Structure formats: C-alpha cells, structure tokens
Structure 1
C-alpha cells in the first residue's frame, strides 16, 4: 500500500509511520496553525473589560467564558477525534478544524448576549479539538532532522506565541479604532473579528499540503478503545505525567486569561495598551520556555531521567514569579514576574507533552494524545481562568486583588504538581511498554513488552 508520495506500508504499520521524515516546512505550517488557534482562543482575555461593561459580567462569568465554555466541548470533541481521526487524511482534517473554529470566532464577534458568547466559545472548542492530535500524530510518528523533541517544542511554541499574537493584534486594533465603530461594529467586536480572517490562508495551506495524499491505515479500528486498554495496563505511568501536565496548563491558562486585566486594573492602562504591553512580554517569554524544554529534553544525558526534573525545576521558578507578583506595585516588576511565570509554566507543560511521545506506540499515539490533551484541557483550560475569577470576586482589593488571586492559584498548583512530577520521574525508569498487536511483523513483535526507551533496558 502507498501513502501519498508512494511510501510502502508493511503489515501492521500506520500510514504516517511509513513516512519517516517530516520537513521543516511542515513543522512550521503546523506551528503556524497552532499559533492561529491560540490567537483566536485568547481573544476574550484581551476584550474582557469591554465584555464586562457591555454585558455586566462578573470575573467568575468571564472566567467561565474563557474556561469551561471552551474546554468541555473541546475535550469531548477531542476524544471523538482520537477515536475516528486516524481514518481521515490528517491535513484535510486539520483544514476542516480551522474552518469550524473560524465560524465560532465570527459568531463570538457578532454575539448579542452572554449566552451567545458561551455558544460561540463552544463551537470554537469543537473546531480546535481535532487539530492538536492530528498534528502530534504526524510529528510523533516521524523523525525530523532536528529531532522529535525539538519538533514538538517548535509546534508547542506556536501556542505560546499565539497568545502574545492575540494580545498584539487585538490590542493594536483597539488602539487604531480609538473607540470608534467600524462598519457598525463596536471596537471590541472589530478587534475580535479581524484576526479570524487570517485563518483563510491557513486553510488553503493545509489543503495544498493534502494534495495527492490519502490516508491508508492497516489499523483502521484502533482508536480510543485500544488506547484506553493500553493506559489501563502497561501505560499506567502516563497518568502521573497527565496529572502534572494538567496542573502546569492550569497555571498557564489562569495567567493568560487575566494578564491584560491585571495590568489594566493594577496599573490603570487601557485595554489596548495593556494587551500590547503583555503581548511583548509573552512573545519573548513563552517561546523561550517551550524551546528550552525541547532543547533540554533533546540532550542525550536527559533521556534517562525524562521530563520530571525539568518540570519540577520550572514550577519552582513559577513560585518565585508568583511571590514577586503578589508583592510588587511597580509596573516593570509586574511585567517581569508575569514573563517569568509564562516562561516557567510553559517550559513545564511542554516538557510533559514532549515526554509523552516516546512513551506511546505509534499505532495508538493519536488516541493516547487525544485522551491526554482532553483530560489536561478539562482541568487546566476549564478550571484555570474560572477558579482565578472566583478567587478574585472574593477579594475586596479591586486594584491588586486580581494579581494576588492569580499568584495564590499558581502557588497552590506548584505545591501539588512538583511532588507529582517527581513521583512520575521515578515511574519513568520502569515506564510504559509497547503493546503487542497481532498484525505486527515478527521483528516488531519481538519488541513487545519491553520498555520503549533504550536506556531502560538492563545493561
């Protein structure tokens, strides 16, 4: 059987595994789509002040809009994508994802009530759900010149840079329109709608990449059921990584959702100025954290210990950043603390996702990634912004209370996740085993029930 360009499939081999290399252009395209996904996802955090005023919302309601409304449908749709996604050519699937979430973004910009805003965020979650598992299926099943760890870190840096891109784009548009309506739309609606239109070029790029490709899999029925069976058996070590990752993402999402509002309230900046200021910080800090994780975990000497030491160290740094955020009233120091928080939390989260890939056998990687990302999203994306909003509503300090609330959430997360990450590090040495599939050739079957990493074998 052939895959696109003529790669031959052996029995038991997936179509993506038959293509042994992914070029830098493909990695950059996937990172660009990930960038756009997070630009669109982060729009409510920039226009939170306008939403609060127009719809008379509390911080808890804004947190629900950014968190649960998106995360619940995102997680449910991601599980469905993990089960059926391998049957669809991945680039066409990703193009469909971008089209669906573009519809959700447009609906958000035109919403006339809080309920309509919630519904639009749900559509956005459905559209973005299948993209990450499809992209990770491509990157995880292939080896590129820079190495899998660095390729995945480049992909995840697109999400980090996407949040800063949203701050820059939406903030700049708010400043340009200067409080004036554009085509009958209020400033926040115009600022929410314009970035969405950039998705059209990405849809064309993905469809161009899909040209002449066809998804041919020797294992069409292996979806979530096989992935769940593996996780319940040999893959149990992944649960520690999953829990630690959820905590890291909770910190990232809580910070990302409220950073512009912190600057606006504590330092009396306009929404546009606050978004651009924090966008500059995130643009540097977020990719630095993700790429540092990829560089560290790509080192030969780090393969024996896995991601746990990197995660624990990064979270310890996030505690220092949170403490500084609680105690400062100086704008430059606030920006520095937020930048350090973004970099350290991103480094920890990227380490977890990178560490998952070599633990997961190729035939079920799509399903395992979907379960992993869905679980992490429900906890991290769903709870991070909302919990911070709930704590903020109970804080009587209207100026610095939001910053203090975010710092408290980050510290509690670190206190739970650092021990969990270190515990997971002990499991890494005797971690998951490759599952035995009846259709695998004898050479592959001989490797069944042996640790996936070379360094775990007894010398």
Structure 2
C-alpha cells in the first residue's frame, strides 16, 4: 500500500505538471495570451522556481518527516492547480503555476527519502522504479484525460478535477505511508544543507553523475517538446496519430525502462560489484545513434521506431542514477542527493534545450534549409552520448567510492 500510494502521487505529480501543455491552445484562446506568455508560464519560470525550492524542501525531508513534507507539497500543488481554473489573466495563471512548481519541488526528494527509510538497499532500486513509473503513467493519463475533459467540459474543469484529485490523494497518502523510521545518524540530519550539498558534490563520482544528469536534461527536454512537431511536419502525420503512437510508446517504454532499470540495479547491488551505471550508459549511447537516424530517415514509421530507444533510455537511467546517488550520499542525505540530481537534469536542459531547437529551426526556415527541426533536434543525440560517457566514468568512480566505504 505504501508503494502504491507513492506511485499515485508520482502519477499526479506528472499530470499536474503537463496539463498546461495539453490545455495551452484553449487557455491561450480564452485569455488572449501570446505564445511568449505561454512559453514563460510552462518553461523557464517553472523550471527556475522548481529548482529554487528543491534543495530546502529536500533538506526538510531529510531532517524532519518526509511523509509530512510529501503530503504538504501535494496539498500545495493540488490547491494551486485548482486555483489555475479561476484564472482570468496571465499574471494570475502564472502565479498559480509558480505555486505548482513550489509544491512539486519537494515531491520527488521526499518520496525518495521515504523509500530510503522504509526499503532495504537491495530492494530499493525496484521501489524507486515503481515510484518513477508514475511519470509515464501520469503522462499517458494526463494527455488522455486532460484532452477529453478539456474538449467536453473546458480547460478550467480539467484543472479543477486534477486539483480535487490531489486533495483526496493527500489524505490517502497520509494514511497509507504510515510511521517513518528515523533517518540514521543525527549528525547527517543536522549538517547545514549547503555544507552537505558541497560535501556531496565534492565526491568525484557524484560530480560525474550530476554532469550526466545535466546531459540527460538537454537530451530529454527537446526530445519531448519537439518530437511530435517533427513527425507532423516531416512525415505528414496528424496530431491524433502522433499523440496515439508517440504517447503509447512513450508510456510503455517508460514503464519497461523504470522497472527493468530498477531490477538490474538491485541485482548489481546484491552482487556487490559497485558497477551500477554501466547498463544505462550503454543504452544512452545506443539511443544517440538511433535518434540521429530517426531525424533523417524518409519513412515516418521507421522514424518513430528509431525514437523508441531514446524513450527507453531516459526512463531506464532513473532508478540506477537515484539509487547510486543514495548510496553515495548515505543515511539522512538521500533526499538531498535526489534534489541535486533533479536540479542538474531539470534546470539548464529544460530552460535552454527547447529554446535552442526553436532558434535553429527558425534560422533554417529563414535560410531555406530543409529539415530545420531535425537539425535543431541533433542536440538530443549529442547530449545523450555525452551523458552515456559521463555515466561510464561515474560507473568506475562509484565502484571505487563504495569499495573505500566498506568496513
């Protein structure tokens, strides 16, 4: 029941995060917003706010009760999602999205802290995978339900419904999670979070993992933002065709990737080899090759098929990355480790990556260069291969670090 509650929280986290993408056209029309305002609402502003509050909330989860932090964050972001349904101006709507970003900033670190306290290390990878599986499930549910509700009842009803669901889920989560064991040594919890962050980042293994996370952010954000427009423009698919094919494949690969990645991480921990990041590194490198081919093949269904390894690679890397980060951080610092990795992947890449693709595409169109969006999307395989190489370096550094930590 504990893991199921966390899975539902993770799914709702993703639903409330992506709803503006689904509802953007309806919101833009009713509130007379520009594309720039829509972009500010769902892009850099959200990412910056989310990153700003991630570390303090992660530290609160490590030092106090992660259950209360998680439930409190859920209530905040759900209430702000529902308030978005009352918006009559850009300023009001943007303020509610800041509130959602604030609440969601503590959700993943608090969830990871709960898993670290309640699940034994040799089963923790699978637990992290189940928690992470809420992201693809939320993506599928958000696109499907959000679109249906928006078409039938309007975008405001979609926001009201998501907010109400969150309030109900907060009560369920509070009861289902139950008592939380202590985090471990008091010293780990009382160390100031800035000093604890610097200590963790001073470890070469964690620095390489953070660099890999930055690369994944630069690969995944443009991938999700522009793959559908690329397929529509270059291969003549309709929006519904792309939504069905890409959405189902993304959700399926997300589920397979998180579960398989979690299982493989657990087995690596049980073997005691310490080499935990090799498989996700290899898949990222393979995905960089297939994604490059997908951007230039002339057949639409072949392009979609070649994008599948990329979908798998991002999900597959999550359990191993977070699990290895927790092992490096030690008791009482797991949420901090998760927060630092989330900031690494969720700040620069989502802020700069899609903007870069758009600039390259616009330049190519103005210059009369064909496949401008495909050229811009080359940032995805480049960032993927760099992330894979960084994880290979981190793989050896993590093994060495864990060997030194053995009694």
Contact 2:18-2:142 at 8 Å conserved across structures: yes
- 1:192 & 1:335 partners in 2: Cα distance? 31
Q: How has the CA–CA distance of structure 1 residues 303 and 212 changed in structure 2, closer, same or farther, with 3 Å as cutoff?
A: closer
Alignment of 1:36-435 (within 5 A): 36-50=12-26, 55=32, 57-58=34-35, 63-144=39-120, 147-174=123-150, 176-177=151-152, 182=153, 187-209=154-176, 219=186, 221-231=190-200, 233=202, 235-266=203-234, 274-300=242-268, 303-304=272-273, 306-328=275-297, 330-396=299-365, 401=371, 403-405=373-375, 407-431=377-401
Q: Give the TM-score normalised by structure 2.
A: 0.85
TM-score w.r.t. length of structure 1: 0.76
* Structure 1: distance between partners of 2:96 and 2:234: 30
Q: For the structure 1 residues 166 and 337, does the alpha-carbon distance in structure 2 shift closer, same or farther, using more than 3 Å as the test?
A: farther
- Structure-1 separation of matches of 2:183 and 2:398: 33
User: In terms of Rg, which structure is larger?
Assistant: 1
Matching residue of 1:21: none
- Structure 2 unmatched runs, 5+: none
Q: Distance in 1 between matches of 2:61 and 2:121?
A: 26
Q: Is the 8 A contact 1:32 1:158 kept in 2?
A: yes
Kept in 2, the 8 Å contact 1:247–1:379? The answer is no
Residue pair 2:183, 2:332 contacting (<8 A) in 1 also: no
CA-based RMSD of the aligned residues comes to 3.4
C-alpha spacing 1:344/1:232, structure 2 compared with 1 (3 Å): closer
CA, structure 1 residues 386+113, in 2 after alignment: closer, same or farther (shift >3 Å)? farther
Describe the shift of the 1:418–1:243 C-alpha distance in structure 2 as closer, same or farther (beyond 3 A). Answer: same
Q: Distance in 1 between matches of 2:325 and 2:89?
A: 40
Deviates more, 1:157-166 or 1:207-216: 207-216
Q: In 2, distance between residues paired with 1:332 and 1:143? A: 42
In 2, distance between residues paired with 1:45 and 1:418? 29
Q: Judging changes above 3 Å, is the alpha-carbon distance between structure 1 residues 329 and 400 closer, same or farther for their aligned structure 2 residues?
A: farther
Q: Any conservation in 1 of the 2:2–2:177 contact (CA below 8 Å)?
A: no
Structure 1 CA distance for aligned equivalents of residues 375 and 9 of structure 2:
32
Q: How many residues get paired?
A: 402
Q: Is the 8 A contact 1:265 1:399 kept in 2?
A: no
Whole-Å separation in 2 of the counterparts to 1:146 and 1:214: 18
CA distance in 2, matches of 1:287, 1:51: 31
Pick closer, same or farther for the CA change 1:321–1:52 going to 2, 3 Å.
Answer: farther
Q: Equivalents in 2 of 1:414, 1:426: separation in Å?
A: 19
Report the secondary structure of 2:133's partner residue: helix
The structure-2 alpha-carbon separation of the partners of 1:376 and 1:37, relative to structure 1 and needing over 3 Å to count, comes to same
